[in-house]
Structure 1
Amino acid sequence: MGKALLVLLLTLWAVPSNAAEVLSIGDGDTLTVKEGNLRTKVRLACIDAPETSQSPYGKAARQALKSLLPVGSDVTLRSKATDRYGRTVAEVILNGSNINQSLVKSGNAFVYWQSIKGCDRQTYSRLETYARLGGIGIWSVPGGIQRPWDYRQSKQSNSKRKRYRCKDTSSWSAAQELLRQGDSRLDGDKVGEACESIRRQIAT
């Protein structure tokens, strides 16, 4: 037996594998399964799917995962770790197919390089390159859509930013700049213009 093959087999044997039944799909990279009598929340390892609010890609990723893992499917979990939310981080295998890798290949998830430990880096890289060169899904725009980890960070930053009211702004132009920065409350009627009342006051 070749040394490389022996190392591969030892690696596979060392990875905890558990049988489970799919109960529900959360978003593009989370699901709930049943292991024996226990309900377990699973975060798909080594990938990051668009957030649901990253329209339309987040909803497409969730639908892709639902199609790959119908409720009631019997799967194998290759567990890697437990995250800070108490979820099992794992690769999910259905009938010999690696679901995590399938989502990357179909352009429904990015490789999460910050958390690739324990996964086959070369395979994930090859599948992401395939989707990127093919302009599939999240790669249908040049360079791909905003990465989910950057999107989450920007949402957190926006939530910490001071929220203005129209009466707090110095001018109509200043209100438009705040809207461009993400202060959507200034556009109460969702027409793409902040503080129309200021403009109307100037006009009169």
Structure 2
Amino acid sequence: MESTDRYGRTVAKVLKGATNINQALVQSGAAFVYWQYIEGCDRETYSRLENEARLKSLGIWHVPGGIQRPWDYRRGRKSGSGSNNPSSGAKRPSQNGVRCRCKQIGSWAKAQELLKQGHTYLDGNGDGEACEGLQKQ
């Protein structure tokens, strides 16, 4: 399966003989699954491989607290909260590779604190405020 992402880049399954390189990268912890572009692929296999790599602390999953996902980094740069320097001391955006969800956070104040720590994905519209629905509760 082959498609194009929003930047015009080719997104495709890469094979070397019978080996699926995409799956091998995920399995070894060398890549995240980018769920937005996984249509037409075996989602169950990718999910299992990523989960196994995370549980074994392989590659990207070996970093305590996880590492920032590329899509979160780009989103942060658009909203002006990102950094060009990955070693700038910013806190990791996830705990053990698990992303926080607004409904699990419980309070608007806690959501703002997490946003400041690098959880830029909580600011869905890029206005600098995380989990806006929590404020209205």
Band the TM-score falls in, shorter-chain normalisation:
0.5 to 0.7
Partners of 1:145 and 1:159 in 2: CA distance = 16
Q: Mark the runs of 5 or more structure 1 residues left unpaired by the alignment.
A: 1-78, 161-179, 182-204
Structure 1 window deviating more from structure 2 (141-150 vs 95-104): it is: 141-150
Partners of 1:84 and 1:148 in 2: CA distance = 14
- Residue 89 of structure 1 corresponds to which residue in structure 2? 11
How far is 1:142 from its partner?
Answer: 4.2
Do 2:5 and 2:37's aligned partners in 1 also have CA atoms closer than 8 Å?
no
Residues 159/150 of structure 1: CA separation in 2 closer, same or farther (3 Å cut): closer
What RMSD in Å do the two structures reach over aligned CA positions? 2.4
Deviations 1:152-201 (A, max 9, x none): 111222279xxxxxxxxxxxxxxxxxxx99xxxxxxxxxxxxxxxxxxxx
Letter in 2 for 1:157: S
Deviations 1:105-153 (A, max 9, x none): 1111111122221110111011101110110111113452111111111
Alignment size in residue pairs: 84
Residues 115/143 of structure 1: CA separation in 2 closer, same or farther (3 Å cut): farther
- Residue 100 of structure 1 corresponds to which residue in structure 2? 22
- Out of 145, 149, 153, which is 2:71 matched to? 149
- Out of 109, 129, 132, which is 2:31 matched to? 109
- Residue 137 of structure 1 corresponds to which residue in structure 2? 59
How far is 1:91 from its partner?
Answer: 0.4
Q: TM-score, normalised by structure 2?
A: 0.53
- Percentage of matched positions with identical amino acids: 67
Deviations 1:8-39 (A, max 9, x none): xxxxxxxxxxxxxxxxxxxxxxxxxxxxxxxx
Do 1:109 and 1:138's aligned partners in 2 also have CA atoms closer than 8 Å?
yes
